Amino acid sequence: MNGAQVVVEALKREGVKYIFGYPGGACMPIFDALLDAPELELVLVRHEQGGTHMADGYARATGKPGVVLVTSGPGATNTVTGLLTSQMDSIPLIVLTGQTITPNLGKDAFQEADIFGVTMPVVKHSYLVKDVNDLPKVMKEAFHLATTGRPGPVLIDLPKDVVSAECTSNFPENTDLPGYEVPMKGNADDIVRAADIIMESRCPLLYVGAGAVGAGAAKEVLELAEKLQAPVTTTLLGKGAFPETHELSVGMLGMHGTAYANKAVVGCDMIMAIGARWDDRITGKVSEFCPTASKIHIDIDPAEFGKIIQPDVSINGDARLVLQELIPHVHKLDSGPWLKSVASWKKKYPLKYPKRGGLRAQHVLDELDRLSESRGIISTDVGQHQMWAAQFCKSSRERQWLSSGGAGTMGYGFPAAIGAQLGCPNDLVVAVVGDGGFQMTLAELSTAALQRVPIKILIIDNRYLGMIRQWQELFFDQRLSGCELEGNPDFVKLGEAYCVKGFRIRRAGDVTKVLKKALAYNDGPCIIHAEVVKEDNVFPMIPAGAAVKDMLIEKPKDRKLEKPVGST
């Protein structure tokens, strides 16, 4: 068995079904070996970045690692954006890159790039395999590292002479990685201390992030919230870890979270982070974040403890297992007055949008949520449409919300939806994208059409980089610079060029009718081109670097806003 055959056999042993790839000279032996493995389905993408986002979307929707196969040089470097996206959001990915032959390493050979060095800051781990007999062990370790502890991407760089050589070593049954430990249940004393703090609370708040989704902790979060009678807020990537249709849900918190979630953050006397990392879009001005509340932090990665917020108790472990240990130590809190306050904020500050003045993105997304009964898998790009989708498209279960959080990667949503649909063929999958982000990876229309995945590509077209325009309007005296997307194509006609069905929405009165037709169309992908009003803004909003209490419910009419001190 040569090295390429070892790689393919290892993928089969790990239960891989799809490989998202693009060939080139250095990885030809592996593509050749794939011809003899019909159980592995190669999805030929149109760009390596798109392939990496597809594998990422597959992983987020299924909980299984996504696999990418590309060639050396630019083929490998084109995966860097996808690797960063997965690393920032802790998504398990295996990226296999071809490489020049080992005698040529470091000699600027054709299509040589030091991808091991280039990607070191954006992977959980990286390998450059120089001996074919190391391959079985490396492949086993890579899947173990990508999927255990805090998940993340692992890159394996494969010189062409290595994958062409004969391998004499056996496939290991287990891994042997001294020093690599996977936290599980959490320290018992820490759990008791956390329970004591919880039981002293009268205004509790559970703050749930992507770590709870990755751990499969939704059942335990629900049990804890109902037992305590504590409201629950989720991060952008924690959507679905607690059903947003539940009466205890206050939706997403942070920069564009609901007003009532942010009011709860200000008013709580105890906040417990479950698999969430106190992101700067959540905390705003750190020194004024929950200043009087006790803080408990549960996380699989001990490096997160005290990085931004110093907790009163930190518990290192798997969120699901820690909650299972914690729940028997707590009982119902006297939180009645607190829940009444939260209910009053929900009533006073509902999510809303103008009903007149043209087609509104919020209206389209609100109606999509209603027609799909909050059951569809939603994949988004980054920008205004992402925040509106997070606000109006509720998640009722885990792995229903796919979005680039930490990296904020434009161009992510559409290819990620292709991967999600392949992994979840019986689910409704909708890519909610902006006109800017969609044009970064639209070449994957070919991939979607050839795979006949029935995804709905909802393009929120306001002919602007909307979030940039919003910031320039609010904080830069409306001095608009580089944000107007002149030259946008007719997206319906563009879809037709790729043999993709198109629908168009121009009037508010047509939203329901057109969405119904699109949702009923299942003969391959379709585009829904929503031509929305140009200058709408996302509210609520906490200016970057400001305190949560400084949240804006709407655009101030009587004062000029200072430039934000935070990044974005």
Please state the length of the chain: 568
**Among the options 111, 171, 185, 475, which is catalytic?**
111
What is the Cα–Cα distance from 507 to 530, expressed in whole angstroms?
9
Contacts of residue 44, Cβ cutoff 8 Å, sequence gap at least 6: 21, 22, 447, 450
What is the Cα–Cα distance from 10 to 143, expressed in whole angstroms?
10
DSSP one-letter code for 541 = B
Is the distance from CB of 357 to CB of 534 less than 8 angstroms?
A: no
- Tell me whether the omega of the peptide bond preceding residue 302 falls within 30 degrees of 0, making it cis: no
User: What is the Rg, in whole angstroms, of the alpha carbon atoms belonging to the chain?
Assistant: 24
Strands 232-234 and 249-252: parallel
Contacts of residue 385, Cβ cutoff 8 Å, sequence gap at least 6: 361, 365, 432, 433, 434, 460, 466
What is the Cα–Cα distance from 141 to 178, expressed in whole angstroms?
12
Beta bridge pairs of residue 96: 69, 156
CA 547 to chain centre: 25
Amino acid identity at 472: Q
Is 325 an active-site residue?
no
What is the Cα–Cα distance from 182 to 185, expressed in whole angstroms?
10
Phi, psi of 550 (to 5 degrees): -90, 15
**Among the options 124, 140, 160, 285, which is catalytic?**
160
Is 110 an active-site residue?
yes
Written as six digits, the tokens of 53 are 């986002």
**Among the options 9, 14, 48, 141, which is catalytic?**
48
What is the Cα–Cα distance from 164 to 248, expressed in whole angstroms?
58
Written as six digits, the tokens of 511 are 């939203």
Which whole-number Å values give the CA distances from 484 to 411, 414, 432, 443, in the listed order? 17, 21, 20, 22
**Among the options 139, 440, 467, 551, which is catalytic?**
467
Instruction: Annotate 257-266 with b (16+ C-beta within 10 A) or e (fewer).
Output: bbbbbbbbbb
**Residue in 196, 20, 200 with CA at minimum distance from that of residue 93:** 20
**Among the options 110, 247, 373, 496, which is catalytic?**
110
What is the Cα–Cα distance from 473 to 466, expressed in whole angstroms?
10
User: Which residue's entry shows tokens 């020194």?
Assistant: 287
Is the distance from CB of 453 to CB of 540 less than 8 angstroms?
A: no
Is 467 an active-site residue?
yes
Strands 232-234 and 204-208: parallel
Catalytic residues: 48, 110-111, 160, 467
